[in-house]
Chains A and B, each alone.
Chain A
Amino acid sequence: MKALELKGLSAAQSGAAGTSGEVSATEEAVSGRARGIGQICRQLFGIPDYERYLAHAAEHHPGAPVLSRRDFCAQAIERKYGTSGPRCC
């Protein structure tokens, strides 16, 4: 489905690819797709998406300090559930 190409996905991939060292093009494509599926799942189920946050920070606030994975997830969960609106019946 064409519509499933995620906006910001390429930014997330390039953000994370810097740490992976040298990999062949096919391996990169496969792991890129896996990351894409992982990201879709995270967004679908409302799981905190640290990679997307890193990509966002790299794009919009380069050089600024970023939250650690632990702190980011803790804050995201606290904001989502701590003062969450009513749940559906």
Chain B
Amino acid sequence: MNKIASILLWPAIAIVGAFSFAALALGRGENVSAVWLVTAAVCVYFIAYRFYSKFIANKVLRLDDTRQTPAERHNDGMDYVPTNRWVLFGHHFAAIAGAGPLVGPVLAAQMGFLPGTLWILAGVVVAGAVQDFIVLFASVRRDGKSLGEMIKMELGPTAGSIALVGVLAIMIIILAVLSLIVVKALTGSPWGLFTIAATIPIALIMGVYMRIIRPGRVGEASVIGVALLMTALIYGRAVANDPTWGPIFTLDGPQLAWALILYGAVASSLPVWLMLAPRDYLSTFLKIGTIVALAIGIYYVAPPLAMPATTRFIDGTGPVFSGALFPFLFITIACGSVSGFHSLISSGTTPKMIEKESHMRLIGFGGMLMESFVAIMALTAACVLDPGIYFAMNSPSAAIGTTAANAAQVISSWGFTITPDMINQTAVDIGENSILSRAGGAPTLAVGMAKILAQAMGGKSMEAFWYHFAILFEALFILTAVDAGTRVGRFMIQDMLGHMYKPMGNTEFLPANLVGTGLCVALWGYFLYQGVIDPLGGINTLWQLFGVGNQMLAGIALLLCTSVLVKMKREKYVWVTLVPTAWLLITTLTAGVEKIFHSDARIGFLALARKFSAAAAEGKVLAPAKSIEEMQRVAFNNYLDAVVCGFFVLLVVAMCVFAAKICLQALKQANPTVHEIPPLGPAQGVPA
């Protein structure tokens, strides 16, 4: 019976998928419903999961349910707990899904909906889900070891140390770019800022409640927290319109940057139960709730895709980010296709909760497919907007000016007809003063979500509410990431400094903690502040730097996976990881080198730096800079960005050499040389 159902089901899914792609492909020139896009994606996920992940599980990794998992070995009812696979699937998904899959696809929408969709789908099946799955597998077979420890075990201590420095550098860039997204979303938005600011006292109330008033009652505290949050969101509009309070919550970019830097320093120094934990619960509720609501909304409303399949900006002249489709699409959409950061999560808490080895297929591979689905929905939300509105929100003021009239004229000249009235009306609809140049993805996604959710629930009058709800949803988990990331960064910095001067490594020693926190905040704060005051628009630079770093980390993780397969003597199947490794190395090394050396000043850091420093030396001021001092700052920052980018390139080249050496050695061996925990002895239940 099951067999017959299966024989009927899979061809049916394939046909629905093919039909959806046909609708997308043949519907040129008229608006295609977003439902086709989402359906096509879902069919790809099901087929990839059913066939490819099964092949990896059975043939490549040979998952073995008789082997003990770390959760069984150390079962302590606290950290190591065998967990139901569907529950762990949700938990793992909530841990890997952040702002990344929401922002990248929105930025990439400037090339049309098709390039982004194809890369998200191909990337996740061939690279992203494979990486998450095999890293999780490697960690479970090594008693839940982290990525850094596994690199040390399999590729040697030098490789391990280099990788750790790389992870720290990538994390600094991530913290800066995430903060920049929040700044761009909240600049001049009193309603948004009030709601985000309110999350601080709400988290404190929750923290005190579950620690002191009703110890351990996290569920009750969460209910109170969500209720307070919704109250703040509803009353935010009144606060924004209030003659006294409105201006207090209206901040400009640099003020918000300083506020965030201060927040990062203070929040990461507070006890975790007071702020980080309650805020994380809130953000997880909102995250899962919003994603489910968006999926239902897209199917219920079935909005047409207003963005064309491809735009002329695939040639690299786009206003949102510069650079041609190859290689820059592949670093702009990182999370959603393949994200190096997942390798840190897949080797974090998840491997300690796996009940059986066979569950890793659903959790590792399936979890990443789910994240990819979020990326597809983000892309959809951006592409249902009128393209004129999309470009008004995402182009820097250097390109479209600062008035609706000017912006409408420039954007219409690109071939996306829009009137100043439409731009102004959109701002009114969402309860904001202006929508111009709100780069960073979050506001665009929020407008798209507001349009979809308002059609499903509440109508036009609710659009402003849904817009600020979406901003809250994104800002909340970004701020949680800033808090948690600053802590981790501090530990890593203290660990490194501890090698040079012993007391610095002591995390119980207050001065050492302050130095560590200060250094970490100063590092990401510097990049954040430069991004905020960058006359060329900071997202343009920082997001690509982040993309290069994140994909490099994915390359490193996949190099580890490749080495693991070779050392297991499964070289017959090594293409499973070698193909995505090669593709990632090709795209990111090309992108990295082009970002540094490209002769076009819109793409190459060095070209732009030279252009500005040469002009400054002659005493000329180039637009959009306004003074010689600004000119020199632009030049210096681009030199710095070139150095960071160069560091990522060298890092991944070094890891390539390490991995190649190890693989060649392992190929000569007749037996597996991998460092796994051996399976249990047959009878006595102790390690053999």
Name A's B-contacting residues (CB within 8 A). 1, 3-8, 38, 40-48, 50, 52-53, 55-57, 60, 68-70, 72-89
Q: Which of A3, A84, A86 has the most CB of B within 10 A?
A: A86
Q: Which of B77, B83, B96, B288 has the most CB of A within 10 A?
A: B77
Contact call A46/B284, Cβ cutoff below 8 A = yes
Contact call B215/A69, Cβ cutoff below 8 A = yes
Contact call A77/B277, Cβ cutoff below 8 A = yes
Q: Which residue of B273, B277, B342 is within 8 Å of A88 (Cβ)? A: B342
| Given contacts A56-B75, A76-B78, A85 and B488 within 8 Å (CB-CB) | yes
Contact call B94/A44, Cβ cutoff below 8 A = yes
| Given contacts A73-B216, A89-B339, A80 and B277 within 8 Å (CB-CB) | yes
Query: In the assembled complex, which residues on chain A have CB atoms less than 8 Å from the CB atom of B341?
Result: 86, 88-89
Contact call B167/A52, Cβ cutoff below 8 A = no
Q: How far is the CB of B87 from chain A (nearest CB, A)?
A: 5
Is chain A's interface secondary structure helix, strand, loop, or mixed overall? helix
Check B272 for interface membership: any CB of A closer than 8 A.
Answer: yes
Contact call A86/B167, Cβ cutoff below 8 A = yes
Q: Which of A8, A53, A57, A88 has the most CB of B within 10 A?
A: A88
Contact call B222/A47, Cβ cutoff below 8 A = yes
Contact call B277/A81, Cβ cutoff below 8 A = yes
Check B95 for interface membership: any CB of A closer than 8 A.
Answer: yes
Contact call A50/B216, Cβ cutoff below 8 A = yes
Q: How far is the CB of A66 from chain B (nearest CB, A)?
A: 10
CA distance A15 to B484 in the complex (A): 35
Check B491 for interface membership: any CB of A closer than 8 A.
Answer: yes
Q: Which residue of A38, A47, A53, A73 is within 8 Å of B281 (Cβ)? A: A47
Query: In the assembled complex, which residues on chain A have CB atoms less than 8 Å from the CB atom of B82?
Result: 7-8
Contact call B484/A1, Cβ cutoff below 8 A = no
Q: Which residue of A1, A47, A81 is within 8 Å of B218 (Cβ)? A: A47
- B306-314, B343-351, B389-397, B637-645 - interface stretch: B343-351
| Given contacts A86-B171, A88-B345, A89-B546, A4 and B86 within 8 Å (CB-CB) | yes
- What 0/1 pattern do residues 375 to 417 of B give for CB contact below 8 A with A? 0000000000000000000000000000000000000000000
Q: Which residue of A42, A44, A45, A81 is within 8 Å of B272 (Cβ)? A: A81
Contact call A45/B491, Cβ cutoff below 8 A = no
Other A-B pairs beyond A70-B215, A86-B167, A88-B96, 12, CB < 8 Å: A1-B86, A3-B84, A4-B87, A44-B91, A52-B81, A56-B76, A73-B215, A73-B218, A74-B211, A76-B78, A81-B272, A85-B345
Query: In the assembled complex, which residues on chain A have CB atoms less than 8 Å from the CB atom of B81?
Result: 52, 56
Query: In the assembled complex, which residues on chain A have CB atoms less than 8 Å from the CB atom of B277?
Result: 77, 80-81
- B46-54, B61-69, B97-105, B627-635 - interface stretch: B97-105
- The chain A residue with its CB closest to the CB of B96 is A88
- What 0/1 pattern do residues 270 to 306 of B give for CB contact below 8 A with A? 0011001100110011001000000000000000000
Q: How far is the CB of A72 from chain B (nearest CB, A)?
A: 7
Check B90 for interface membership: any CB of A closer than 8 A.
Answer: yes
Contact call A43/B485, Cβ cutoff below 8 A = no
CA distance A86 to B178 in the complex (A): 14
Query: In the assembled complex, which residues on chain B have CB atoms less than 8 Å from the CB atom of A87?
Result: 98, 480-481, 484-485, 488
| Cβ < 8 Å to A, chain B residues 155-211 | 167, 171, 174, 178, 210-211
Q: Which residue of A57, A81, A86 is within 8 Å of B344 (Cβ)? A: A86
CA distance A26 to B397 in the complex (A): 65
CA distance A4 to B362 in the complex (A): 14
Contact call A41/B216, Cβ cutoff below 8 A = no
Q: How far is the CB of B210 from chain A (nearest CB, A)?
A: 7
Query: In the assembled complex, which residues on chain A have CB atoms less than 8 Å from the CB atom of B211?
Result: 74
Contact call A89/B216, Cβ cutoff below 8 A = no
Contact call B485/A3, Cβ cutoff below 8 A = no
CA distance A57 to B664 in the complex (A): 48
Query: In the assembled complex, which residues on chain A have CB atoms less than 8 Å from the CB atom of B681?
Result: none
CA distance A47 to B281 in the complex (A): 8
Q: How far is the CB of B379 from chain A (nearest CB, A)?
A: 17
CA distance A76 to B280 in the complex (A): 14
Check B487 for interface membership: any CB of A closer than 8 A.
Answer: yes
Contact call B342/A45, Cβ cutoff below 8 A = no
| Given contacts A3-B86, A85-B344, A74 and B273 within 8 Å (CB-CB) | yes
Contact call B281/A86, Cβ cutoff below 8 A = no
Contact call A69/B344, Cβ cutoff below 8 A = no
Check B152 for interface membership: any CB of A closer than 8 A.
Answer: no
CA distance A6 to B76 in the complex (A): 17
